[in-house]
Chain A
């Protein structure tokens, strides 16, 4: 990590802890009183119908929106008032539901920027040298998501599935400790979904994540716990098999048609 002074209590603290987090948009409560804790290295799915507040939850965790009330801790540190970039520098990462990339820049520059963002010398006026460590790191990430063949192409020219994979490469830059994946499988082909499951299950064990995903075949295969949301509230938590078997959940979310 880029800075020395970090709360070193990572052993005992939760990776992520939310206490009574609410978010109002006018009179609408997009999130009400969310209390949630995730262990370091834990992998969890957040499920729920559209409008359940899943993406708003991510936006509060990353700091894109400030919560209207409540406290958010990241590895024991109260980050509620931190701007997004401070949370990212502490090891939080996210991907976006709708690809949020730099379309006018080549693939390599996109990943290089992600690596720069969590390193020092963000303001460097000197171009990277041939053997720059961050260029190598970026190339490694591009290789990990199978995009080496297109690394010099402009992102705007990539196929949709490739853009989704690039999203994941950006989230893996630097030394992530916890990642928020927002519907990473949306719009992917069956083969690409298999690749995605492979990438997610192959992540180092110390990296935990929360995944929002509508595809149960992806979501339940890559997590060990599930949180169900409905109308901005958490209404059930459990293991994937418990959730899948739960009649109330089937009724509400899986619509009976599943399986």
Chain B
């Protein structure tokens, strides 16, 4: 993780661009994708809109919180899915669900902020527990916290309702819109993810994010510059947890139910897979990884049956895909895209250089 290099302009350049210039600097690919996402409800079926794209965006947000920690801080935390699930549970417990003997029926505008704050605190606490470790030990401790939460939610019936969890959790209706509707829910997730994405990019060049990259590259030097490396890393857990918590709220509205399986060891590791497959060097990576993951999960069953294999083996296809991508490119799909782009650019430069000589005299 230490060799990861996040590419971005210097703080000086960052300081000098306003919103307008930041928008103007985006390439054509950004605008095509943005436009496509905005008009998606016109072209996609409700199934694609919600089950594929909105779900991928939600998982992408959770993986984005991991990308922030791992890409900028060198911290591989497996607790991000648990933070999201905890926020989801809180929405069910504080708000309304079919489990009326537990749910407190708070209105959504009280439920959501409290859920996000408490889940973020949980993220900070997990960070405080694991922050003094590095590499594989961070992974082990955060995995232990995630497992502990899983078993707690499985065995506790008074708050978490044990094995069956909560169902009948509905997205709220406000501003005259039923946010559970396909199109409205799609735009809700898209807007939230766009905000989280922009926040990560912005903060990565702010003093906090810059110092976080410093602690990744050279923690001892950061201490010798006056930074409290431990406290800085815990704060990074907090920032990441806010994103994961918001994603968790969306997740529970998407699933309309939540149970221990939401944050089992499988999903916890899936978030790591999504982030690594997409690429940890840029905030767009996790979203790409999430889309690939959701597509594989959804269609590998059909694909396997098509070639005469047992459809239940779809995890095999995901695992193989993961293996191939990681083997081919340590920086995930982003890394592959970068290399293709680089080769294309070099090829074009070579061609212009060839034509440049005689081109002077037509």
Contacts and interface: CB of A to CB of B under 8 A. Distances in A.
Contacts of B203: 125
B202 A117 contact: no
A104 B2 CA distance: 11
A170 B214 CA distance: 13
A122 B207 contact: yes
A126 B207 CA distance: 7
A130 B225 contact: no
B213 A89 contact: no
Contacts, number: 123
Nearest to B202: A127
A85 B16 CA distance: 30
Nearest to B203: A125
A193 interface: no
Given A123-B232, A127-B11, A100 B220 contact: yes
Contacts of A89: 226
Nearest to A151: B12
B205 interface: yes
B214 A113 contact: yes
A243 to B, nearest CB: 29
A100 B214 CA distance: 11
A83 B220 CA distance: 11
Contact of A124 (B14, B207, B220): B207
B223 A85 contact: yes
Q: At the interface, is chain B mostly helix, strand, loop or mixed?
A: helix
A118 B225 contact: yes
A84 interface: yes
Interface in A96-126: 96, 100-106, 108-109, 112-114, 116-118, 121-126
Given A104-B213, A106-B10, A123 B235 contact: yes
A122 B12 contact: no
Nearest to A88: B226
Given A102-B221, A123-B235, A129-B15, A85 B206 contact: no
B210 A113 contact: yes
Interface string A42-86: 000000000000000000001010000000000000000001110
Contact of A152 (B6, B12, B206, B210): B12
Contacts of A211: none
B224 interface: yes
A256 interface: no
B16 A130 contact: yes
23 contacts: A85-B229, A88-B225, A100-B218, A100-B220, A100-B224, A101-B221, A102-B213, A105-B213, A109-B11, A112-B210, A113-B222, A113-B227, A114-B225, A116-B207, A116-B225, A117-B211, A117-B227, A122-B207, A125-B206, A130-B16, A151-B12, A152-B10, A152-B12
